[in-house]
A and B are shown apart, each in its own frame.
Chain A
Amino acid sequence: MSDFTVATQAIGSRRQGNVKRIALRWLLYVLLCLFALYYLLPLFVMITTSLKSLEEIRTGSLVALPREITFDAWSTAWSSACTGIQCEGLRPFFWNSILIAVPAVVISTVLGALNGYVIAQWRFRGANMIFSLMLFGSFIPFQVVILPMARVLGMMGLAGTIPGLIFVHVVYGIGFTTLFFRNYYVTIPHELVKAAKVDGAGFFRIFWSIFLPLSLPIIVVTVIWQFTQIWNDFLFGISFSQAGTQPVTVALNNIVNSTTGVKAYNVDMAAAIIAALPTLLVYVVAGKYFIRGLTAGSVKG
């Protein structure tokens, strides 16, 4: 009899434990959902606002869904919003950003790969020193280099041009790209280079046939990093550009700041989303490799 009571008590307490655990689990999920909502809310407001008409924005609530979906704001932002006196929308500046970002990303990635390869695998006197200096270079604040860089660009005849901006971004990016590639290549056994040397391959042959095919994960990391940095850059863009060569970030700022009369929130929101779209796209397409590349360990061969 007494055994039986003990047993029921045990079941009871176990049930209590279960209830407690489930409650905790729910609490956790509710909290997580709240956090997710908190972070998603701005995006939600941006998207819904960009799909509303100005009339509706003025009368309705900020978080309400649009009563009537209209893409007018998007087309205005893209092709007819005014940035100062010019009213061509974001389109020409978006194109500028592509003209700046794509070559700058490609050049800085290629140079970083070569630098990393040399520093990690072709040890020479002072390699560590050079690497430390490059590392130091990547942590110099933007503001510090603006004046000297303006002077250099002027002397090179590249002031206010797109090649000038490409040059700035390449110079600023090399430190990071070298760091990425060096840390990746340093995990590759030195014997691989030795074997290739005995096989008769030279410096570039070894890089091209052996190291580059191994590098996809780190190339993806570098491209995402560089593309995001360069696309989102505002300070260099506004400092070293002139009327026709401004990148999209500068144009976005101009659109938002140069509205006269009624503030077209829907256009501003649409423009902001358009300006952010390429980096989002890069993450969605290559994000999987980004994580993999960052955590990629040694190459077993």
Chain B
Amino acid sequence: MTPILDVKNLYKNYGSVEVLKDINVSIDPGDFLVLVGPSGCGKSTLLNCIAGLEPITGGAISIDGRDMTDVSPKDRDIAMVFQSYALYPTMSVAKNITFGMKVRGVDAQTQKTKLADVAQQLQIEPLLNRRPGQLSGGQRQRVAMGRALVRDPKLFLFDEPLSNLDAKLRVEMRTEIKRLHHDLGASMVYVTHDQIEAMTLASKIVVMKGGVIQQMGTPSQIYNRPENLFVADFMGSPAMNLIPAKAVKNGKGMRIEIERPEGGPLILNDAANPDLPENVILGLRPEDIAEAGFRAGKQVQTAHCLVEIVEPAGADTYVMSDLGGKKVTARFHAETKAEPGATLEFAFDLGKVSYFAPNTGQRLN
């Protein structure tokens, strides 16, 4: 199958500043690719390069098998939704949606039919005669999506489309985008700094930092098997616990020792990962540390820890303890009896553990 989007060895410099370094991304038709990373990581620049709005310094971009490296945006068969919506302020909603078709010389009848289709699909029929200024944020977002949908492009590009919306609306629109993707079977590239958006929407995630791809994979790969400390820390909320530990050979497996303020080191035995160096950083997500008795599994091990802080969050209660010099967050059930200052038995699920090398930050297991 020809990839719908294929970015090869892409470099982008602004003067002498390298913004993107050797980017290689490829997605299949129907994929939902999310580019995620902290601000300034180059994700929006990459999207602009794909759209043809920014010239690239090196490498190649092809869309649906056609080389698009030097093709202007209008001929790339793409549609784009922007963070500020970028609706044309003096045109009505209907004109906004049909502007592209008008420019391309599509006949009036087709314009009308397509407009009606899209308006119905997004439920914006009552808004068609209004100006963007008279719409709420969510409505503007819908119109911006309508402008993209009406184009029926090979590739949809979204540049942080939800970050100007309030929290509730953002969740609604997220679902809407997911539904659209499902209904249309369209290929999409989506930029966000919100890792939850990335997890919920993507069929494939690219995590970026400093213009370099850190990891590319399915949401589950990114979440469960982060390639390095940056990805481990960036994806997931609350963040993954990254605990400095010592690994000592112990028969066939390893004994993991974690420093704690009192009562000697906390000992865990990991039989599944026998080849660890002496110093490691142990990564466990909060949900993989539970109250003893509430987590079953072959590799669940328990240990007593001193509870420092208890944060009820409704559905769960987050319990914090000091391990290896770090505040370690455990996700307990809501009705836990945990109290600050008490010592409780914690259950660590080593089946979900990640190990990282402290010096390189790379994954070890």
Residues of B within 8 A of A (CB): 48, 51, 53, 72-74, 78-80, 82-91, 99-100, 103-104, 132-133, 147, 159
Contacts and interface: CB of A to CB of B under 8 A. Distances in A.
Given A198-B73, A214-B89, A301-B88, A191 B82 contact: yes
B103 A200 contact: yes
B73 A197 contact: yes
Nearest to A300: B133
A209 B74 contact: no
A191 B89 CA distance: 12
Contacts of B99: 196, 199, 201, 209
A189 B100 CA distance: 19
A205 B104 CA distance: 12
A301 B80 contact: no
A183 B120 CA distance: 40
B93 to A, nearest CB: 12
A213 interface: yes
A191 B83 CA distance: 8
B88 A192 contact: yes
Contacts of A210: 88, 90
A301 B83 contact: no
Q: How large is the interface on A (under 10, 10 to 19, 20 to 34, 35 or more residues)?
A: 10 to 19
10 contacts: A191-B82, A194-B53, A195-B82, A195-B88, A197-B73, A198-B74, A199-B74, A200-B100, A200-B104, A299-B89
Given A197-B53, A198-B74, A200-B104, A209 B89 contact: no
Interface string A167-200: 0000000000000000000000101101111111
Given A194-B73, A195-B88, 10 more contacts: A192-B89, A194-B80, A194-B86, A198-B78, A198-B80, A199-B74, A200-B100, A301-B86, A301-B88, A301-B133
Interface string A121-158: 00000000000000000000000000000000000000
B84 A301 contact: yes
A213 B132 CA distance: 14
A197 B82 CA distance: 13
Nearest to B75: A200
Contacts of B104: 200
A218 to B, nearest CB: 14
A200 B147 CA distance: 12
B133 to A, nearest CB: 6
B346 to A, nearest CB: 49
A200 B79 CA distance: 10
A201 B73 CA distance: 10
B87 A301 contact: yes
A161 to B, nearest CB: 40
Interface centre among A205, A210, A213, A301 (most CB of B within 10 A): A301
A195 B90 contact: no
Nearest to A199: B100
A284 B159 CA distance: 46
Contacts of A209: 88, 91, 99
Contacts of A301: 84-89, 132-133
Contacts of A194: 48, 51, 53, 73, 80, 82, 86
A196 B96 CA distance: 10
A263 B189 CA distance: 82
Interface centre among B51, B53, B88 (most CB of A within 10 A): B88
Contacts of A189: 84, 86
A276 B72 CA distance: 52
B48 to A, nearest CB: 8
Interface string A192-233: 101111111100010001100110000000000000000000
Contacts of A213: 90-91
